[in-house]
């Protein structure tokens, strides 16, 4: 993997940072505008989706690790016979 390629976990982390920064930069505006509540709800929704993506990614990575470990163990068992 070269330095320009981003893995999914890093992309999700960057997304979470961007959402937090967006929310922080809009905080002064949110107190003045009635439509800011809708914007806050949307930002919170995106944060929730990012958190769910992170959970799904970690579960998929764990499953892939288990799959690799089983394949490695099967190869070792096959050689031992």
Q: Is the dihedral of CA 10, 11, 16, 19 positive or negative?
A: positive
Evaluate if residue 1 carries a pLDDT over 90: no
Residue extents of the structural domains in the chain: 8-80
Average pLDDT, the chain: 86
pLDDT in tens, 12-32: 999 999 999 988 887 776 666
Structure confidence at residue 54 (pLDDT):
93
Percent of the chain having pLDDT more than 70?
Answer: 85
Per residue, what are the HEC states of the chain?
Answer: CCCCCCCHHHHHHHHHHHHHHHHHHHHHHHCCCCCHHHHHHHHHHHHHHHHHHHHHHHHHHHHHHHHHHHHHHHHHHHHHC
| pLDDT tens digits, 27-58 | 776 666 667 778 888 899 999 999 999 999 99
């Amino acid at each position: 993997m070269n330095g320009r390629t981003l893995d999914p976990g890093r992309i999700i982390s960057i997304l979470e940072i961007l959402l937090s920064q967006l929310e922080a930069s809009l905080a002064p505006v949110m107190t003045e505008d009635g439509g800011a509540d809708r914007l806050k709800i949307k930002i919170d929704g995106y944060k929730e989706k990012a958190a769910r993506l992170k959970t799904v990614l970690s579960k998929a990575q764990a499953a892939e690790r288990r799959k690799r470990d089983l394949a490695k163990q099967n190869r070792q068992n096959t050689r031992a016979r």
